[in-house]
């Protein structure tokens, strides 16, 4: 039996990067304040001492410049890990993220690769207000050639990040910032998790909750409370939006006959609409005993006030209410 250890989500990401940098000398990291300061959330703590300034590189406050530099390094044979301090800042380098990185391999007929991981802190819950709290994953998922990953646990974060670093395509790796200090069990031995494979975090027979990121923990809490009332919910963590494990989603809905999709991002135009479409286009549609429901954030800029911020997003009580409405 594999030896396990309990670590934080942030430490799991740190461990994944360190292991891959030790394994492959072409892996390096660049971003704002990631060296001496260890990044805005301390994720790169200790890495400067281990790998030096040639591989842990502080950049200017110019996302457009250093993401572009990362693409160039990847095309030249390196495997950069590029950190954007907040996911909101991807708007500054959107041309590089969606018009350069995902398209080079196709435009050059497969003669070049862009093996680059772009890590970033996403989501709300820290009082960082409207310009530092957004969840923009649905937009990223719209661009062919770009993979999008959002882990919910330390175990998933480490295994998925190691896989992303080894991938020959650009991967957007979104880390929801309220998860950094959460803890979980992680094997001490080497392991990876393939992209595009969902994980059923809890089995049930009455309703499927399809979710990802920090909403996984919230959905599991809701499932615990619903079980006390005799409603047994299945929680499916998709883990990656692109590639999407449609098969696991479909099989879950066929079993439970009900589907609730939960995400932190704004509900209107959110990725939940794509998941709903995938269910509607599949054989699972004919098994449904109730309409497909979605639960996401309100359509408003994220408030600074913590009470208003909490009201903006899905909560355990809101998830419970939505599940009950399907019964």
Flag whether the pTM goes above 0.85: yes
Phi, psi (rounded to 5 degrees) for 263? -150, 155
Which residues make Cβ contacts (< 8 Å) with residue 15, sequence separation at least 6? 7, 158, 186
Buried (b) or exposed (e) across 285-308, using 16+ Cβ within 10 A?
eebbeeebbbbbbeeeebbeeeee
For residue 133, pLDDT over 80 is answered with: no
At 267-299, the pLDDT tens digits run 999 999 999 999 999 999 999 999 999 999 999
Level-2 CATH architecture, domain 199-326: 3-Layer(aba) Sandwich (3.40)
Domain spanning 4-187 has what CATH number? 3.40.50.970
> Residues of the chain with pLDDT > 90: what percent?
87
Distance CA 59, CA 31 (A): 5
Domain definitions of the chain by residue range: 4-187, 199-326
pLDDT: which is higher, 103 or 1: 103
- DSSP 8-state symbol, 178: G
At 18-62, the pLDDT tens digits run 999 999 999 999 999 999 999 988 999 999 999 999 999 999 999
At 245-258, the pLDDT tens digits run 999 999 999 999 99
DSSP state letters, 42-95? STTTTHHHHH-TTTEEE--S-HHHHHHHHHHHHHTT-EEEEEESSGGGGGTTHI
pLDDT value, residue 209 = 98
pLDDT value, residue 2 = 75
In the set 132, 232, 257, 263, the catalytic residue is 132
Decide if 4-187 and 199-326 have a common fold. Answer: yes
Question: Is 257 designated active site?
Answer: no
CA distance readout (Å), 146 to 41, 105, 221, 263: 25, 11, 32, 20
pLDDT value, residue 306 = 85
At 98-115, the pLDDT tens digits run 999 999 999 999 999 999
Rounded to the nearest integer, the mean pLDDT of the chain is 95
DSSP percent split of the chain into helix, strand, coil, nearest 5: 40, 20, 40
Q: How many CA atoms lie within 13 A of 188 on its CB side?
A: 6
């Amino acid at each position: 039996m594999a030896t396990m250890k309990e670590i934080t989500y942030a430490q799991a990401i740190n461990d994944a990067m360190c292991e891959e940098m030790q394994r492959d000398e072409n892996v390096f990291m660049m971003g704002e304040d990631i060296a001496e300061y260890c990044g805005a959330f301390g994720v790169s703590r200790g890495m400067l001492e281990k790998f030096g300034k040639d591989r842990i590189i502080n950049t200017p406050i110019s996302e457009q410049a250093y993401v572009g530099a990362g693409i160039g390094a990847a095309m030249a044979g390196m495997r950069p890990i590029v950190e954007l301090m907040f996911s909101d800042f991807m708007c500054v380098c959107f041309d590089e993220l969606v018009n350069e990185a995902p398209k080079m391999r196709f435009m050059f007929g497969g003669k070049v690769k862009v093996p680059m991981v772009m890590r970033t802190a996403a989501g709300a819950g820290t009082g960082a207000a409207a310009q530092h709290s957004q969840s923009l994953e649905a937009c990223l998922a719209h661009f062919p050639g770009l993979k999008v990953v959002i882990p919910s646990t330390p175990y998933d974060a480490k295994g998925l990040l190691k896989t992303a670093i080894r991938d020959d395509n650009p991967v957007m790796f979104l880390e929801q910032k309220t998860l950094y200090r959460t803890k979980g069990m992680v094997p001490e031995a080497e392991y990876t998790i393939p992209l595009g494979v969902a994980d059923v975090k809890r089995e049930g027979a009455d309703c499927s909750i399809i979710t990802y990121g920090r909403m996984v923990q919230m959905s599991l809490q809701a499932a615990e409370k619903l079980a006390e009332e005799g409603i047994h919910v299945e929680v499916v963590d998709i883990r990656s939006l692109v590639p999407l494990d449609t098969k696991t989603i479909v099989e879950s809905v066929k079993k439970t006959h009900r589907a609730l999709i939960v995400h932190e991002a704004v509900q209107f135009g959110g990725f939940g609409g794509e998941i709903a479409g995938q269910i509607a286009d599949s054989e699972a549609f004919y098994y449904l005993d109730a309409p497909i429901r979605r639960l996401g954030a309100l359509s408003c800029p994220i408030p600074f006030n913590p009470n208003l911020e909490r009201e903006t997003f899905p909560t355990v009580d809101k998830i419970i209410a939505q599940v009950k409405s399907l019964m």
